[in-house]
A and B are shown apart, each in its own frame.
Chain A
Amino acid sequence: MPWNKEELKKLYQDKFGDQKLIMVSNRAPYAYSYQNGTARITRPASGMALSLHTVMQAIGGTWIASNCGELDQWDISCHGAVLLRSPKYKYTTRQIYLSTEEAHGYYYGFANQGLWPLCLASPISPQFIQSNWYCYLNVNRKFADTILDEASDKNNIIFIQDYHLALVPQLVKKAVPHLTVCQFWHIPWPSYEVFRTCPWGREILAGLLGNDLLGFHLHSYCQNFLHAVEQTLGAIVDYEKFTISYLGKVTRVTASPLSIDFERFESLAKACHMENRATELRNNLSLQGIQVGLGVDRIDYTKGIPERLEAVNIFFQKYPQYLERFSFLQLGPISRIQIPEYKNLSNIIDSLVETINQKYGTIKWKPVILFKSCFFQEELVAFYQLADVMVISSLNDGMNLVSNEYVTSRNEGSGALLLSIFTGATHELTWAYKINPNDTEEIADIIYLALNDPPAEKLSRMLAMRSWIKEHNIYYWAAQFLDLL
């Protein structure tokens, strides 16, 4: 039987008793605003945040996150540090106020113009600016102080997320050594040769070694990390046990690929209104009798969106029989627009879509349909159900949970997943159609292949992937990780 909410809760209670779980991330799972004194959700969560939300719903506790410029200081001071506490949520959310300047230097600056391109070995060079680093340090201290305020009197479990908060573990551990601190790094860890270009690499590594347990999606990311600490800090590394001894303390490193709430996606897909919603979408988008390809990504230069659109262009060139018989839907919000590269990318995507639509489109048919917006899970599931092929062409991606969401939403086992060989998910979903995002002609050919493969072949691939995700669901991930503490 797959892991479920009750089993995870039991494991936590058996292992940690009444020790509270304190989840810490840059952002809360949802964005809120206040209307008539009540917090209302204004933005849906990312796949990663939703998975963590599922864990918190099972275990309970406190989630510490920043407003990241979205709630103002008045909102936070008026409504108290504990922002959201309702019967719907099994945990409380505690918000940290960051000014626009802090959000700029820490989030847009050091985290997303420095660490993000560094770790994703992106074609965009990382920018390491001193003032951004200082801001990152100060905001990490702010997080650490809030954790200590929330947790220092008891031996709570502090579970930190991602690359925004690399210094927090050591800041917390130094102040209160008896606290149990763990972290999951959701993006790749690059090779030492790449990592050493970061001027504050030593500080980042020493910060992360405050963790008792540090998780990555893949074994290779763990090995890169071990190598980096050995070379940079001279820490003692045991490559067999995956442990690091530094300043008299041991940090264990583990590979544990993140997953999704299989049950939730499956039940959403089976809900009776979902079929109607998918039909409604098909009608509204004039897709009757047309096969559909789908891409779902935040607009980011690591996602390979221009490469994917170029592949669609080649697909129509090579297989003209699909003109007016196939449309490609590209969904996803514009993100980090304060960073010039993201704005440029958004313009490039607009221009590519326009070119393809002008080249092949007719009055009645659009080859590519672009929605640059955020979608709630329920809406995404309807889109997943429309899609005969799903194309994930990331140039580099820690995991990519969209692949899991698509497979789980296809409850009849139809459809085909084209998955970049540079995603973490490709190591798990080995039954997907593999693509190299840099080979756009190959992607075009595999779209054709996936559309034309016998249904039995596609069914067998999808069923194998569904079975894997069902077994290795989000509860399994959390249980495996927390059990190592």
Chain B
Amino acid sequence: MDQINPDMTVLEVPCQNRQAEHIFRKYDAAAGVCLCCQALFDSVADLSRKYGLELEKLLADLETAAASRSDR
């Protein structure tokens, strides 16, 4: 499985890990919008810039979700 990187779009991240959608949902409140409705075609880096989210933390959360998925 490829690593999730900041250039991937929100649309592509769940291709690596379907659980990623739940991670994006966790950030909806902080962003003030539904990220999976408003930012599907943005890269993860653009998304964090646009909505003031901490990129490192977001990537780490997505990676953790991906790792827990692949451990199963």
A234 lies within 8 A of B34 (CB): yes
Which residue of B18, B40, B41 has the most chain A CB atoms within 10 A of its CB atom? B41
Smallest CB-CB separation from A170: which chain B residue?
B41
Q: A207–B10 Cα gap in the complex (Å)?
A: 13
Which A residues touch B31, using CB under 8 A? none
Q: Are A167 and B11 in contact (CB under 8 A)?
A: yes
**Does A137 reach chain B (CB closer than 8 Å)?**
yes
Across-interface contacts of B42 in A (CB, < 8 A): 174
Scan B39-56; emit 1 where CB is below 8 A from any A CB, else 0. Answer: 011100000000000000
Return the chain B residue nearest A138 by Cβ.
B15
Which residues of B in the span 1-46 have a Cβ within 8 Å of any Cβ on A? 11-12, 15, 18, 34, 36-38, 40-42
With a cutoff of 8 Å between Cβ atoms, the chain B residues found around residue A203 in the complex are 11, 40
Verify B41–A174 contact, CB threshold 8 A.
yes
Q: Which residues of B contact A167 (CB under 8 A)?
A: 11
Residues of A within 8 A of B38 (CB): 247
Chain B: interface secondary structure?
Answer: loop
Binary interface encoding of chain B residues 45-72 relative to chain A, with 1 for a CB under 8 A from any of its CBs, else 0: 0000000000000000000000000000
Contact among A137, A171, A233 for B37, CB-based, below 8 A: A233
CA distance A206 to B34 in the complex (A): 13
Tell me whether A134 and B41 are in contact (CB under 8 A): no
A203–B39 Cα gap in the complex (Å)?
10
B11 near A137: Cβ-Cβ < 8 Å? yes
Contacting pair B41 A202 (CB below 8 A):
no
Please tell me if the beta carbons of B18 and A202 are within 8 angstroms of each other in the complex. Answer: no
Give the total of A residues in contact with B, Cβ under 8 Å.
Answer: 16
B70 to chain A minimum Cβ distance, whole angstroms, is: 15
A351 CB within 8 Å of chain B:
no
CB distance from A211 to the nearest CB of B (A): 13
Cα(A167)–Cα(B41), bound, Å: 9
**Residues 203-250 of A at the B interface (beta carbon under 8 Å):** 203, 206-207, 210, 232-234, 247
Contact assessment for A234 and B15 in the assembled complex, using a CB-CB cutoff below 8 Å = no
Q: Are A206 and B40 in contact (CB under 8 A)?
A: yes
CA distance A226 to B39 in the complex (A): 20
A96 to B18, CA, bound (A): 28
Which of A130, A171, A232, A233 is the one whose CB lies under 8 Å from B41? A171
- Are B18's CB and A234's CB within 8 A? no
CB nearest to B40 among chain A residues = A206
Q: Which residues of B contact A232 (CB under 8 A)?
A: 37
Minimum CB–CB distance for B49 against chain A, Å? 15
- 26 A–B contact pairs at CB < 8 A? A130-B18, A134-B15, A137-B11, A137-B12, A137-B15, A167-B11, A170-B40, A170-B41, A171-B41, A174-B41, A174-B42, A202-B36, A202-B37, A202-B40, A203-B11, A203-B40, A206-B37, A206-B40, A206-B41, A207-B41, A210-B41, A232-B37, A233-B37, A234-B34, A234-B37, A247-B38
Closest 5 CB pairs of A and B: A134-B15, A206-B40, A170-B41, A174-B41, A233-B37
Told that A174-B41, A203-B11, A234-B34 touch, could you supply 9 new A-B pairs with CB distance under 8 A?
Answer: A134-B15, A137-B11, A137-B15, A167-B11, A171-B41, A202-B36, A206-B37, A234-B37, A247-B38
